[in-house]
Structure 1
Amino acid sequence: MAREEYRESLTELRANVESMAETVLTQLRQALVALEDSNEALAREVIDGDETVNERYLDLEGDCIDLLALEQPVASDLRFVAASFKILTDLERIGDLATNLANYALADVSEGFSGVDSYGIGEEVRDQVQAAIGAYVTDDADVCRTIASRDDEIDALCQRASEAVVRELIARESDTWSVEQVLDDVSRVLLTIRDLERIGDHAVNIAARTHYMVENDPALIY
């Protein structure tokens, strides 16, 4: 592969990672709306779209392997390809978690928990992912550090939401609800919170990989 063609391949890889991220972010937004509105049709659209995300991930993973195996990248290019490879894995897993959220939207829920704003937390987390991808596209190490520092705020939101579920459960009159249904509702809400927190963790992973790519430093300072 000629050097100019190789540089074009690297540029194309970055654009493809950004494109996959846009698809995953759309999946996540749709899953959050489906969960908030109990929108079955939108939830099933997200679930059906996961196969496309997985196929795209495998194609781009193959591109990364080819660039590593068939070329002899200099150090900065090697960091870029390796970081892109790992970021694709984070994006694929975010897509899986968005599918989880869509599946929760299909659950038979008797009533929600007033102290839990899953949609609000989800939007915060989605912003984190979007910012992390923006940092990758623009080689912005400063944004990477901001994302890492904000992760504690996301974790705190998730912790308060989980505690609110427990408080509301304790406060409910036991003779007004079905134990089985309430346990199903609690499980769904706690799983939702857990998966949102995990998406936030993947945003930090993307930021850390970008920070390494740009600064040649694996340590992402909080």
Structure 2
Amino acid sequence: MIGDWLKRVGVLAAVLLLSSCYIPDKFKSELRLSKYGDYSLTFKGDLLWAPILDDYRKGKITPENEPEKIANIKKDLSRDIAVRKIDSRGRGRFTVEYERTGRLERVQLIALLRRDARLLAMRSMENGAIAIHANAMKPSDAQIMAEMGLNMEGEFRITTDANVVEHNATEVRPFGKAKVYIWKVENPLSPMPHLVMLREDDPGRPLNARASESN
């Protein structure tokens, strides 16, 4: 039984290295996005560092080196200045609080966490569209997670007063002149958030036409 579990851990670490190294769990995340492109993005929940599972499987984690391994993951998370709080819960799991605000330029990519560890991407385009898309997990990866007793659950919301032309939200609620789009993530196979809106020009604050990418 233990041998089978360790084998699955190794497979999980290998496949997830191909996508994102962090698995979100027990989270609540919200994006407030105005029709002009002003945004406020928050995340509170757990992040699991998948590659360390392979180190546990191979016996590379010992009482002597585990503190350093955990410290290195914490250091990696802290590279994003929007990460406000990081608490280790052991075995590669961290409780994280993230908060970022700003205004999207005419052409820009914003990522949670970073472009090389992306859980959620927010992209503005020259044609005025803004697309929000979360990484989806392959069914084979999700099956391995389920066999190991690992899960990925939480809730993501987008509150916006913009003209939304495409979305796959679980639920939509009115909120004054805006709407709240809600995704209930119950497991790794749940539909990942996807929404496209059309930006309006703000006469008081002209957009910078420079294209850019941002962590």
For this structure pair, what is the TM-score category when the shorter chain's length is used for normalisation? Answer: under 0.3
Per residue, is there more helix in 1 or in 2? Answer: 1
Superposition TM-score, scaled by structure 2 size: 0.26
Larger Rg: 1
Superposition TM-score, scaled by structure 1 size: 0.25
Q: Which has the higher contact order (CA 8 A, sep 6+)?
A: 1
